[in-house]
A and B are shown apart, each in its own frame.
Chain A
Amino acid sequence: DTEVTQTPKHLVMGMTNKKSLKCEQHMGHRAMYWYKQKAKKPPELMFVYSYEKLSINESVPSRFSPECPNSSLLNLHLHALQPEDSALYLCASSLSQGSSYNSPLHFGNGTRLTVT
């Protein structure tokens, strides 16, 4: 089991739908991440929030919109997705980073998204 909770576990949506993925952690971590993972590929970084502010956006299309309401919650709003956006979406959290030490990522179970 993981201390990072993601909902829903599975999501099927049409290209005109609007949906949201949710992530929650109560480990006191101040960095939260969204990763996208296609089958048989490594996780790819999408967004990073640090202290509830967006720190990194890896040139993700605007149809993906992240939100960090507070230090424990992270959302990913989805709108007008394409079939190629079908993937496993992983949320992760970590302690804030030092200058030479990167603390481990704690991943949630992920949301398996299918866009039809």
Chain B
Amino acid sequence: GQQVMQIPQYQHVQEGEDFTTYCNSSTTLSNIQWYKQRPGGHPVFLIQLVKSGEVKKQKRLTFQFGEAKKNSSLHITATQTTDVGTYFCAGPSGTYKYIFGTGTRLKVLA
């Protein structure tokens, strides 16, 4: 079946350093979504990418969808302690069905 893997599994960074998580799907995706889950919280939608090669920015966050629409990345510039959490990508697998990636847990050291 369809699999969505993320690397790295964990990342510890010093505050102010950059961070990148990569998402790879075993199948071509019509779109990809990114979610953030704070410790003890619930996933919160960040963004959706639809077009091949699409790049979107949200302040310090940059999201990219690969040309083949099988991979995606999230880059955070100059991390802050508020960026702590687990970042999930999610791809559709039929109507209403989302496959969540394995997640990358980010810790930011002050």
Contacts and interface: CB of A to CB of B under 8 A. Distances in A.
Are the chains A and B members of one assembly?
yes
Interface of A: 2, 31, 33, 40-45, 48, 50, 55-56, 90, 94, 97, 100-102, 104-110
Contacts of A33: 96
Contacts of A94: 96
Contacts, number: 59
Given A90-B42, A107-B43, A109-B41, A42 B30 contact: no
Given A43-B100, A56-B96, A102 B42 contact: no
8 closest residue pairs by CB, A with B? A42-B100, A104-B45, A107-B42, A102-B92, A48-B96, A97-B95, A107-B43, A42-B103
A104 B48 contact: yes
A56 B97 contact: yes
Contact of A43 (B31, B43, B44, B95): B43
B88 interface: yes
Contacts of B96: 31, 33, 48, 50, 55-56, 94, 97, 102
Interface of B: 30-31, 33, 35, 41-45, 48, 50, 88, 90, 92, 95-98, 100-103, 105
Contacts of B35: 105
B97 A45 contact: yes
B101 A42 contact: yes
B97 A90 contact: no
A40 B33 CA distance: 19
B4 to A, nearest CB: 8
A41 B100 CA distance: 10
B74 to A, nearest CB: 15
A58 B98 CA distance: 12
B31 A105 contact: no
Contact of A102 (B43, B98, B105): B98
A31 B98 CA distance: 13
Contact of B33 (A41, A42, A56, A102): A102
10 contacts: A43-B43, A44-B100, A55-B95, A94-B96, A101-B50, A102-B30, A102-B33, A102-B98, A104-B33, A109-B42
